[in-house]
Structure 1
Amino acid sequence: MIGRLTSAVGRSSVVAVVVTAVAAVIGLLPLISGRDPALTVLRARSAEREADVEALASVRRELGLDAGPAGLLRRWLEGLVHGDFGRSWVSGEPVGARVADSLGVSATLTAFAVLVAAAVMALLMARTLVRTVNGRRDDSGNGVAAVLAGMPEFVLGALFVVVFAVRLGWLPTSGWNDLGNAVLPAVALGIPAGAVLGVVARDAIRDAASEQWLRAWTAAGLRRRVIGLAVLRRAASVVAQQLGLLFAGLFGGAAAVEVAFAVPGIGRLAINGAIAQDVPVVQACVLTILAVGVVTSGIGGPARRLLLGRAATAAALTAAPPAPRPPARTWVWICATAAAGIVIGYGLLRDPLAIDLTHRLLSPSLTHPMGTDAVGRDMLARLSHGAVNTALLALAVTATTAVIGVMVGLAANRTSTVSALMNALPPVVVALVVAAAAGPGWAGAVAAVVVTGWAPLAGHARSLAAEQRASTYLTASRALGASPWHLTTRHVLPAIVPAVVRNACVRLPAVALALATLGYLGLGAQPPDPEWGLLIAEGMPYVERAPWTVLFPAAGLIALGLAASSLATRVR
C-alpha cells in the first residue's frame, strides 16, 4: 500500500514539474525569440499609436517585462497558486474566465467528435467481427480506413459547409450558438480519428480470432452472441487505451477546425494568443490543455484492466501469435505505382513556380492536366514537386514515431505519464518553441510532429505487450528459464510490431497534413514551396469555384495512405 502511494505521488510530482516547465517555456516564448513583446502588444491595442520609446517603456512597466524572465515567472507562479491566471496583455480581461468558457466549448466539441469516431470505428470493424463470430477469417485490407484517415479535417469541414450549410441549409456554417454548431466540426474531426481506431479494432478482433479460447468455445457450441461479446470485450481492452489518447489528442489538436468554423474553443484561443504574443493567455491555455490531456489519457489503463479483469495481469490469456495474412495482389500495386511514377515524372518536367495571371483557376485540360491555381501556376507541376518532400518526409517521421512508440510501449507503465503529456501537447506548441530558438523551417515542423506523434502508438504497443506477457505460452517459457531479452525479441516484439506498424501507416497521411499545417502557419515549409498541405490551404478559398485546387492535393494524401496501408499488410 505504501509502495503504491509513493509511486502515485512520484507520478503526480513528475506531471506537475513537466506541466509547469512547459507552460513556463511557452509563457517566455516572446523573450526567448528575441522579439520585443511590448511592440506587438502596443500594435494590437492601437494600430495608430506611434511605437516610440516612451510608449514601449510604458507597456513594459505595465506588463512587468522590465522585471526580466525570472520576475515574470515568479509573478505568474504566485498568481497560479491563488488560482489567478492573470489578465490578457491585449484586452486587459481576466484570462481565467476566457479559458473557462473556451474549455467548455472544446470539451463539448471533442466529446461529439469522439462519438463520431466511435461510430466510424464500429462501421469499419463490423464485417470483421461478424466473420470472426461465424468462424471465418477476414482477410480484407484497410483501404477504406486509409481513405478516411487521409482526408484533411479542414477539407472535410469545407465540403460539409458547402453541401449541408450553404446548399441544403440544414446546419449553421460557423459560430457557437447551440449544439447544431457542433455537428459539422465534430464530424470533420471524428471521421479521420474513427478510421484510425477502426484499424486498431480490426487488428484486435483478428488477434482474438487466433486465440485458443475462441476455438475452444466455438467447438463447444456456445451461442454466437456469447462469443461475439467475448471478442468485443477483448478488442475493447485494446481500443480503450486509445480512446483516452484520442480525446486528449482531439482536444489539444482541434485548433485548425476551430479556426475554420469560428468555434471559440481553447485551441483557437491559444493560437490567437500566440500570434498576438499574449503571454498570460498562452500560458493558461497550454496549462489547461496539458491537464485535460493527462487526465483523459490516464483513463485507458483502468478501462483495459476493468474489461480484462485478472487476465490483464495474471496468466489467464491464451493468446498465440497471429497467423500471417496472405499478401495483397502484387501486380495491382505494381501497376498503380508505375502509373503514379509516370504522372509525377511528367509533372517534374514542369516549372512549379511559374506564374501566369492570364491562366488563373483554369480547369483541367490537355495543357494543364490538373488545372491551375489562383495565380496561374500549374497544379500538376506543384503536386509532383511537392510529392518528394511531403511523402518522403512524412514516411521518415512516421517510421521514427513507430520505433519510439514500440520502445516506449515495451517499457509498460513506467513511461505512461510522459506519453500522456506528449499526446496532450499540440504540435503547434512544440513548433513555436523550436521556431523561437532556431527559426521557422522543416526542422521545427519535423521535431514537433515526432515529439507529439509517438504517444498513441506507445499506448497501442503497451496494451498489446501487456496481453502478450500475460499469455500462457510466455508463462511457460519463463518457467523453463527463458530470459526476458529472449521473450521480448522472439515473442513479444513479433506479436505487437505488425499491429503498431499498421496503426502508424494509417496515421501517415495525418503526419503529412500536420507537417503541412505547420508550414501554413509559418512554422514549417514556406510559400511558394510546392508542398501538399500548402496547396490545400491555398486552394481552400476557391474550393467551390475551382475544386481541383483542393481535390488533387487531397487525393495525393489519400493515395499516400492507401500505399502505406498496403505496405503494412505485408509486415509479419
Structure 2
Amino acid sequence: MTRSSGETLRQWLLSDRPQSRRQARLGRAYVIWRQFSGNRLALVGLGIILLLVLMAAFADAIATHNPVQGDLAGARLLPPGSAGYLLGTDDQGRDIFSRLVHGSRLTLMVVVLVAIIAAPVGLVVGTVAGYAGGWLDAVLMRITDIFLAFPKLVLALALVAALGPGIENAILAIAVTSWPPYARIARAETLTFRKSDYIAAVQLMGASSWRIVLRHIMPLCLSSVIVRVTLDMAGIILTAAGLGFLGLGAQPPLPEWGAMIADGRRFILDQWWVAAMPGFAILIVSLGFNLLGDGLRDALDPKEAGQ
C-alpha cells in the first residue's frame, strides 16, 4: 500500500460523516486501536495474553516432557537447567516447564468460561434493573448486595465445598461470585441512558421494553463491562489458584498452577523453584490482564477516544 492510499484509507476511517454503518464501525474500531496502541504498557499486556493463548494452543508442541508423569527415581527435585529440565522438576520428578505450559490451558479455560457465564448474567440483571426501576430494581439490587456482602474467595470456598472439588465446580463457583460488579456497572450506565433523547425516540417508535434493553441499552453498556471483565481476570486467576492451592480446584495430576504451588510449599526453603515458578507464572499473567484492562479502559473511554 502506497503512502497516498494509506492516507486516503485513514481519512475514510476518520470521516466525521460516514456513508454506511460499516464505515462507521471500522472508523470506531480504528480510533479505539489508535488510542490503545499509544499505550505501551497496554501493548505489553496484550503481548502477554497473546503469548498465553499461543502457549495453550500449542502446549503439546512446546512442552518438552510429559506433564503428569515424571522420573521419580532419577529426576526428583532437580534445579532449573539440570539435565534438560529448563525450570527444574518437582517432588514427583515431573518437568515444571511442561506442567506450566499445559497448566496455561486450565488457566485460560477458567477465565474464559467465567467471563462467558458471569458477564452476560451481570449485564442482563443490571440493564433490566436500571431500565425497569421500581420494585424490580429494588429486588435485583438487593440480591446483588447479598452476593457483594461476602468476600469472593470465601463464597467460592463455600460453594465448592457444597458442590464438591473439581475444576468444573470451581469455575461455576467463581462465576456465581463474579457477576454482581457487572450488574452494578450496567445499572449505573443504564440509569444515564434511560432518560436520553435516543431512548425516548426508540420508545416513540413503538419498541418493546425488552427490545430497547437488548438492542439499544446493552450495546451502550458493553464497553464498560468488557473493561471490568478484563480487569477482573487477574482476580479470577488468583481465586482459581487459591481454590487449587486448598485442593478444591483442579485435582491431581492436572497441572493447575495453584495446586503446583501447594505441592511445592513443603520445599520452599531448599527447592524454591517448585513453588516459585508457578507463582511467577500467575504474577506475569495477572499483570498482563491488568495492563490490558487499563489500556482498554482508556481506549474505550469516549472522552479519551475523541481527542
Q: Into which bin does the TM-score normalised by the smaller protein fall?
A: 0.5 to 0.7
Q: In the TM superposition, what whole-angstrom CA distance separates every residue of 1:475-515 from its partner, at most 9, and x where no partner exists?
A: 34334544323432332111111220221122123212212
Tell me the SS of whatever aligns to 1:377.
coil
Distance change in 2, residues 1:491/1:449 (3 Å): same
Distance change in 2, residues 1:474/1:400 (3 Å): same
Distance change in 2, residues 1:334/1:506 (3 Å): closer
Counterparts of 1:230-379 in structure 2, within 5 Å, are 336=51, 340=55, 344-348=59-63, 350-353=65-68, 354-356=70-72, 358-364=75-81, 367-373=84-90, 375-379=92-96
The separation in 2 between residues aligned to 1:508 and 1:484, in whole angstroms, is: 32
Tell me the SS of whatever aligns to 1:507.
helix
Counterparts of 1:216-231 in structure 2, within 5 Å, are none
Relative to the length of structure 2, the TM-score reads 0.66
| Shift, 1:438, TM fit | 4.3
The separation in 1 between residues aligned to 2:164 and 2:51, in whole angstroms, is: 39
Residue in 2 aligned with 1:550?
279
| Shift, 1:471, TM fit | 2.1
Task: Flag structure 1 segments of 5+ consecutive residues without an equivalent.
Answer: 1-136, 149-327
Q: In the TM superposition, what whole-angstrom CA distance separates every residue of 1:433-469 from its partner, at most 9, and x where no partner exists?
A: 5455443222432232122110111111111111111
Decide which of 484, 494, 498 is 2:223's aligned counterpart. Answer: 498
| Shift, 1:424, TM fit | 2.1
Letter in 2 for 1:363: P
The separation in 2 between residues aligned to 1:438 and 1:339, in whole angstroms, is: 32
Q: In the TM superposition, what whole-angstrom CA distance separates every residue of 1:104-150 from its partner, at most 9, and x where no partner exists?
A: xxxxxxxxxxxxxxxxxxxxxxxxxxxxxxxxx981368857989xx
Structure number with larger C-alpha Rg: 1
Tell me the SS of whatever aligns to 2:35.
coil
Is residue 110 of structure 2 the alignment partner of residue 393 of structure 1? Answer: yes
The separation in 1 between residues aligned to 2:208 and 2:175, in whole angstroms, is: 32
Task: Flag structure 2 segments of 5+ consecutive residues without an equivalent.
Answer: 1-32, 131-136, 301-307
| Shift, 1:522, TM fit | 2.4
Q: In the TM superposition, what whole-angstrom CA distance separates every residue of 1:263-309 from its partner, at most 9, and x where no partner exists?
A: xxxxxxxxxxxxxxxxxxxxxxxxxxxxxxxxxxxxxxxxxxxxxxx
Tell me the SS of whatever aligns to 1:140.
helix
| Shift, 1:404, TM fit | 0.5
Tell me the SS of whatever aligns to 2:250.
coil
Q: In the TM superposition, what whole-angstrom CA distance separates every residue of 1:78-115 from its partner, at most 9, and x where no partner exists?
A: xxxxxxxxxxxxxxxxxxxxxxxxxxxxxxxxxxxxxx
Tell me the SS of whatever aligns to 1:522.
coil
The separation in 1 between residues aligned to 2:50 and 2:177, in whole angstroms, is: 36
The separation in 1 between residues aligned to 2:225 and 2:186, in whole angstroms, is: 6
| Shift, 1:407, TM fit | 0.7
* Aligned pairs, number: 253
Distance change in 2, residues 1:366/1:346 (3 Å): farther
Residue in 2 aligned with 1:404?
121
Tell me the SS of whatever aligns to 1:454.
helix
Tell me the SS of whatever aligns to 1:395.
helix
Relative to the length of structure 1, the TM-score reads 0.38
RMSD value over aligned CA atoms? 4.0
C-alpha contact (below 8 Å) 1:539/1:549 kept by paired residues: no
Letter in 2 for 1:345: D
The separation in 2 between residues aligned to 1:361 and 1:428, in whole angstroms, is: 34
Tell me the SS of whatever aligns to 1:139.
helix
